[in-house]
Structure 1
Amino acid sequence: MANMIAHGFSVLDNPSKHTSSTTLSELDTTTHDYDSSSMSDCESSISGPNNDPDPSFHDGLIRLHEGDRVYDLLRRRLVSVLGLVGAQAEVVAIHRNSVRGVMGQARIQSFQIFVKATASKCGGDANVKFAWYAGSKEDLCKIVEQGFGNPNNNGLYGRGIYFSPDDSPMECLKDSVVDKDGLRHLLLCRLVLGKTEVVHPGSEQYHPSSEEFDSGVDNLTVPKKYIVWCTNMNTHILPEYIISFKAPSTLNGFASVRDSSRTPTSPWMPFTNLISVLSKFLPPATIALISKYHRDHKEKKISRVELIQRVRQIAGDKLLIAAIKAYRTRY
C-alpha cells in the first residue's frame, strides 16, 4: 500500500485481496425481464404470503425471505465482496423494487428503451452492469419511488451519480448511514453504461464529452467508480434491491486500519517531488486538486490518513509506486 508521512510518500506491502467466485450473473435469469407481463406478475405477487411489504419500508418494496434464490444470492455476494467487513456483517433484510403502478412501469419501459438504443449505438452491447449505491434508508426508498435527484457526492469526478461496481462496494459503503436500528443500507442498481470514458479527479464534467461516450469511470481497466451523468440519471439507472445489514462498529475506521498510520519503513519521497512527477502523467486539474489536499493537510484541515486516501484514490497505487521507485532510482 502507498502510505504518506507528513511531507513525503512511501510504499508499503499490499495485503492479500479477498476473492470470490460468487457473482450476480444469475440475477439476469431470476429478476423481471422489463416487459409488461413481468410487471403484472410483480404486482400480482404482492398478495402472496412471502411478499408482504415490510411496514418499516416504503410500500413499493417487497421483502424477500431467506431461502429465496435471489435473497441467498445477494446475501452471499455482499458478504463475499466486503472481505473482512463481510465476515462480520449480518444481512437482516432484502427488499425488491415492486415496480408497480403506472410510474413504476414507465420507468422500467424507459430503462429498456435506453438499453436497446445504447446497444444499437454501441454495436450490440449496452454494457449493462450491476452497481452499489449507499445512503440512508429514507433516501434509498425515495430513490426507488421517485428516481434520483441532485447528486449528494463531493463532485470529485464531475457532476453525476457515483456508483461502486458490484465487486467493490467498500467505496460507497463509506457513505452509508447507520439508522436508529443500527442498520446500514445499500441500493443495488442496474446501469446502462454504454461506452465509458475516463473522468479524472477534479473534473467539472457534467455530461459525456462527445456523442461517442455514454458514461464515465475512474479507470478503464479496473474501475472503482461508475459515473452516470445527471442528464441520464433517470433513464440509465434501474434501482432493484435494498440490502439492509449490520456491519462492525469499526466500519468508519476500516480504511484507516487498512491504511496503517505507522511511520513507514520502506522508501519514501518528498511530497513536492511526488507532485512534480505526477504532473507528467495527470492533467493540470487533477494536480491542482492533489496540491489543494496537501495544503489542507499542512493547514491541519484534513488528517494524514484522509490525505493518503484521497491521493491514492486520485492517482492510483500503480502510478504512485512507479513514481516512488523512479525517484529512489534517481536519488
Structure 2
Amino acid sequence: MERVGAEEQVSMTVDDLEIIRPEAESDEFSSSSERVDLFAWNNGMIRVDEGNTEHDAIKKMFFSGMGPIGKGTDVVSIHKNSHSTLTGQARFESFRIFSQAVGKKCGGDANINYAWYGASRGEIYDIISHGFSRLQRPKAGELYGFGVYLSSAKFSIDCALSSAEDENGLRHVMLCRVILGNMETVCAGSQQFHPCSREYDSGVDDVSAPRRYIIWSAYMNSHILPSYIISFRAPLKGVPRRIQANLVKPTSPWMKFHTLLSVLSKVLPPHKMTQISKYHCDFHRKKITRQQLVKRLRQIAGDEMLTRVIKLYRTKDQTSCVLVP
C-alpha cells in the first residue's frame, strides 16, 4: 500500500474528525482530581487522571505529532487549566470576546485551533500565572518574524524541542487554543512584528500546510488560551532541531483528497459536491487553509459519512494489497 508523508499532499484522516470540547468540563473527571505534584500552584491547574477520555485524547494528540521520537516518550502527567481564579476567568472571558470579534470580522469563522507551546517549567509557570510577557527568538527552527511561536497540533515534536528539562528530568509543553483568524504567510528570516494589513490576524510558515503559527505581541494574551500542560520524558538529546515533516505520518486511516471526492460524488447529491469542489479549489488557490477545508467538508458531508468512507476505503485498500502478488 502506498504511504506518503503527512504534508506531501492534501489528505483526510479520521483524526480530523475528532473533537475535544474544551468549553465543557469532562464528566469523567475523577472526584478526587486535585491540584497536585508538578503544578501544585494556586492558579487553577487540576490534574487530569489517567484512563478518562480527556486524558487519552490529549495523550494521543501529543504522541501522533512526535514521529519516531514518540516510541521512547513517556507522558508523566497532564494538567488542565480550569480558569477558576479571578485572573483565569478574566482571561477566559477575554478569549471568548475576541473569538466572537474575529469571527465576525472573518465572516463567522474565527479559525480557532489547538497548538503547542514548549518552554521551561519556570516560563510555563509565569505564563499560567501572569500571561505571556516577552517575546523571544524561536528555540528551534528558523525566524519567522517576532511574536509568540506555536506548533501545529500535528507537530508536537517542534514544541518538544523547544522545551527544557527541569531538575527531575521532565519537560513540559502547553496545549493552547489559538485564535488564528485570517492567516498570512510569513517568510523565513522575516523581521515582521505585526500583521501586514488589517485583513490578517496571525502569521504562519505555510498557509496551505501550517506547521508553525506566529501570534503577534499585540494579540498574545487575547488570542492564546493555555488549556493543558503535558509533562513528559523524551530522548531528545542529539535530535536535530527540526525533524523533517515526512517523518510524522498519519496514525489513523486516511485517503488522498481527490480519491475522497471521487467516492463522495457517488453518495452525495450534486449540489453538495459543487460546494465541496469550490472549497477544494479555494484551498489550492490558498484562499483557505487545510483546517478550513476540512471544517467545510465536515459541515457538508457530515462526520459519520466521512468516517465510514475513509475507514471502508482503507480496509479495502489494505485487503487488495495483501491479495495482489
TM-score range, shorter chain: 0.5 to 0.7
1: CA distance, partners of 2:60 / 2:150: 20
Mapping for residues 113-128 of structure 1, pairs under 5 Å: 113-128=97-112
Aligned to 1:313: none
TM-score by length of 1: 0.64
Q: 2:211 aligns with which of 210, 215, 224?
A: 224
1:142 CA drift (Å)? 1.6
**C-alpha distance in 2, partners of 1:135/1:159?**
17
Matches within 5 A, 1:48-87: 49-57=31-39, 58-60=41-43, 61-87=45-71
Aligned residue in 2 for 1:178:
165
1:177 CA drift (Å): 0.3
Give per-residue Cα distances to partners, 1:78-116, cap 9 Å, x unaligned. 112212111111111000012112211111110000100
Matching residue of 1:10:
none
Q: Is 1:209 matched with 2:202?
A: no
Distance 1:182 1:130, change over 3 A: same
Q: Who is 1:140 aligned against? A: 124
Task: Say if 1:50 and 1:64, in contact at 8 Å, map to a contact too.
Answer: no
> 2:161, 2:133 → 1: CA distance?
20
Secondary structure of the equivalent of 1:87?
Answer: helix
Contact kept, 8 Å, 1:194 with 1:214, in 2: the verdict is: yes
Instruction: List gaps (5 residues or longer) in structure 1.
Output: 1-14, 260-331
| 1:103-141 deviation line (CA, Å, top 9, x unaligned) | 111111100001001010001100001000001112112
Task: Name the aligned partner's letter for residue 75 of structure 1.
Answer: K
1:247-282 per-position Cα deviation (integer Å, ceiling 9, x unaligned)? 12xx132227968xxxxxxxxxxxxxxxxxxxxxxx
Which residue number in structure 2 is paired with residue 27 of structure 1? 20
Secondary structure in 2 matching 1:208 = coil
TM-aligned CA deviation for residue 16 of structure 1 = 6.1
Using structure 2 for the length normalisation, give the TM-score.
0.66
* Equivalent position SS for 1:27: coil
Of stretches 175-184 and 109-118 in structure 1, the one that deviates more from structure 2 is 175-184
SS at match of 2:211: coil
Q: Give the match's secondary structure for 1:93.
A: strand
Matching residue's letter, 1:254: V
Q: CA deviation at 1:202?
A: 2.0
Structure 2 residue runs of 5 or longer lacking an equivalent are: 8-12, 245-325
Contact 2:67–2:157 (8 Å) recurs in 1: no
Helix, strand or coil: the match of 2:87?
A: helix
Question: Which structure is larger by alpha-carbon Rg, 1 or 2?
Answer: 1
Task: Report the residue type matching 1:203 in the other structure.
Answer: S
Equivalent position amino acid for 2:181 in 1: G
Going from structure 1 to structure 2, the CA distance change for 1:25 and 1:233 (only over 3 Å counts) comes to: farther
Q: Once superposed, what is the RMSD of the aligned Cα atoms?
A: 2.7
Measured after TM superposition, the shift of residue 217 of structure 1 is 0.4
Identity of aligned residues (%): 39
- What is the aligned partner in structure 1 of residue 83 from structure 2? 99
Return structure 1 stretches of 4+ with deviation > 3 angstroms: 15-25, 256-259
**How many corresponding residue pairs?**
232
> Does the C-alpha gap of structure 1 residues 25 and 152 become closer, same or farther in structure 2, counting only changes over 3 Å?
farther
Contact kept in structure 2, 1:24 and 1:73, CA below 8 Å: no
